[in-house]
């Protein structure tokens, strides 16, 4: 059994460490690239969500490297994500691939099924080891998010242009060489120190932009055309409400406290939307209100084409924008989104924000 899994931003870091700790062979899919998307687009239904197309590309590229078991998470509606695994399995089968897909569904009334699956992908390690590995992995998730946070803060403030990116790409190269959670943790911590040490411009007063939208698009840089880098370079500090940790906690854990906190946050959007409509649309609305409260200069909503819940959010956002005089831009991405047009829109938005900010400060 050689495991692989779909990419989503830096999720591969904790996942790889987890399987390394358990001694289960694991293939990290090659970084998402045009090739990945091409493969996915060729075999997926045309109207499938973009994340699924990329998942399929990941699997096939991983299988070429010897993976035979695919692990992914699921959910039980209302959005499509919960049925990804089934459709993917059918597609792979017709393409002649015989990899097994194991879907880890959030535990419902009967957690036994989930436990059995976890045991299986852990190569039947004793529960003690499995639990230890999961605890380590969740610590890595936290620290990875923290490191990302530092990068985001530094990019618009760095004294020497490009230093943050340099450091980040060095980190991404080295992390793949690490085996097991201990090594991974050590590397992350050392890069946190280095990142903290990046000198800042004294006069830096960057614009602050909140990112909201569909979670995969937010987290996977290939899909959002590296929006965080781009905005950072345009001199804006990017805030993103949803992190990998949030995703892990909502989809996989039974963390009651977190769920309560989340509810609290979601209440902020109650005037506009007060129930879950699938995906992360509720978060999108609540975070937009939250960002308005926090005095952000602007918000960008980003979604893959055809994303059902985010389309609902998209129709609500103009009201928030109007009521709170908060500039909001919506970006829809699909496999045809061109780099150039996209950058132009970001530039125009940043220009608008800086003008607005300029007049406020005069």
Partner 1 sequence: MKIGIPRALLYSIYLPLWKTFLEELGHTVILSNHTDQNILDNGVKNCVDDACLPVKIFHGHVTALAGRTDIILIPRLVSVYPGEFICPKFIGLPEMIKHSVPCNPGIIIMNFNARFSMDRGYDGMRNLGRELGATKDLVAQALDRARIRQAEHMRRMEAEPGFNPVRSIDKKDQKPPRLDQGIIGLIGHPYLVYDRYINMNICDKLNERGYGILFPENIPAESVDRACNRYPKKLFWSYGKRLLGSGLCMLENKLVDGLILLTSFGCGIDAFIDELLIRANHREYKIPLTTITLDEHTGQAGFDTRLEAFIDMMEWRSRYDNHVPTYGTGVYPGKSLI
For partner 1, give the closer residue by CB, 238 or 313: 313
Residue 110 is a binding residue for partner 1 (CB under 8 A): no
Residues in the chain: 362
DSSP code per residue over 39-72: HHHHHS-TTS-HHHHHHHHHHHHHHHTT--EEEE
Residue ranges in 36-65 that form contacts with ligand SF4 under rule CB under 6 A: 49, 51
**Which residue, among 48, 85, 129, 126, has the nearest Cα to 335 in the 3D structure?**
48
Select the residue interacting with ligand SF4 from 81, 134, 229, 282 (CB under 6 A): 81
Say if residues 53 and 30 touch (Cβ distance below 8 Å): no
Pairing state between β 298-304 and 207-213:
parallel
CB of residue 78 vs ligand SF4: minimum separation in angstroms?
Answer: 9
Residues 6 or more apart whose CB falls under 8 angstroms from that of 28 comprise 4, 12, 15, 16, 62, 176
For partner 1, give the closer residue by CB, 156 or 309: 309
CB of residue 279 vs partner 1: minimum separation in angstroms?
Answer: 7
Q: Using CB distances below 5 to 8 A depending on partner kind, what does residue 213 bind out of ligand SF4, partner 1, none?
A: none
CB of residue 198 vs ligand SF4: minimum separation in angstroms?
Answer: 34
For ligand SF4, give the closer residue by CB, 285 or 307: 307
User: DSSP alpha helices (H): ranges in the chain?
Assistant: 12-22, 34-43, 50-64, 84-94, 112-121, 127-154, 163-175, 180-196, 215-219, 227-233, 244-252, 256-267, 281-293, 308-323, 339-361
For ligand SF4, give the closer residue by CB, 74 or 327: 74
Q: Using CB distances below 5 to 8 A depending on partner kind, what does residue 126 bind out of partner 1, ligand SF4, none?
A: none
DSSP 158: B
For ligand SF4, give the closer residue by CB, 49 or 147: 49
Residue 34 is a binding residue for partner 1 (CB under 8 A): no
Binding region for ligand SF4 (CB under 6 A): 49, 51, 79-81, 214, 279, 304, 307-310
Binding region for partner 1 (CB under 8 A): 45-49, 74, 76-80, 82-83, 85-87, 89-91, 94, 103, 272-273, 275-279, 281, 303, 305-309, 311-316, 318-319, 332
């Amino acid at each position: 059994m050689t495991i692989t899994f779909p990419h989503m931003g830096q999720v591969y870091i904790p996942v790889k460490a987890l399987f390394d700790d358990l001694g289960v062979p694991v293939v990290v899919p090659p970084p998402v690239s045009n090739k990945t998307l091409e493969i996915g687009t060729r075999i997926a239904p045309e109207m499938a969500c973009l994340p699924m197309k990329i998942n399929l590309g990941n699997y096939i590229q991983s299988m070429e490297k010897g993976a035979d078991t695919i692990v992914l998470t699921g959910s039980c509606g209302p959005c499509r994500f919960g049925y990804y695994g089934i459709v993917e399995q059918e597609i792979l089968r017709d393409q002649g691939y015989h990899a097994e897909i194991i879907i880890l569904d959030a535990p419902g009334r009967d957690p036994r099924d989930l436990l059995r699956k976890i045991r299986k992908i852990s190569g039947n390690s004793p529960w003690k080891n499995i639990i230890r590995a999961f605890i380590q992995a969740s610590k890595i998730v936290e620290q990875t998010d923290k490191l990302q946070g530092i990068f985001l803060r530094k990019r618009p403030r760095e004294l020497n242009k490009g230093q943050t990116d340099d450091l980040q790409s060095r980190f991404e190269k080295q992390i793949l060489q690490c085996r097991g959670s201990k090594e991974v943790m050590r590397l992350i911590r050392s890069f946190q120190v280095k990142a903290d040490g990046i000198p800042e411009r004294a006069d830096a007063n960057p614009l602050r932009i909140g990112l909201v939208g569909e979670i995969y698009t937010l987290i996977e840089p290939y899909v959002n055309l590296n929006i965080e880098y781009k905005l950072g370079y345009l001199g804006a500090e990017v805030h993103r409400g949803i992190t990998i940790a949030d995703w892990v906690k909502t989809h996989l854990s039974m963390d009651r406290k977190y769920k309560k906190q989340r509810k609290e946050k979601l209440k902020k959007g109650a005037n506009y939307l007060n129930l879950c409509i699938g995906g992360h649309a509720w978060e999108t609305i609540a975070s937009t209100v939250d960002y308005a409260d926090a005095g952000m200069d602007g918000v960008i909503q980003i979604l893959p084409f055809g994303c059902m819940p985010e389309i609902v959010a998209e129709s609500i956002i103009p009201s928030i924008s109007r009521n709170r005089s908060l500039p909001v831009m919506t970006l829809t991405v699909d496999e045809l989104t061109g780099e150039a047009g996209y950058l132009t829109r970001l530039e125009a938005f940043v220009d608008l924000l800086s003008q607005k900010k300029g007049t406020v400060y005069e």
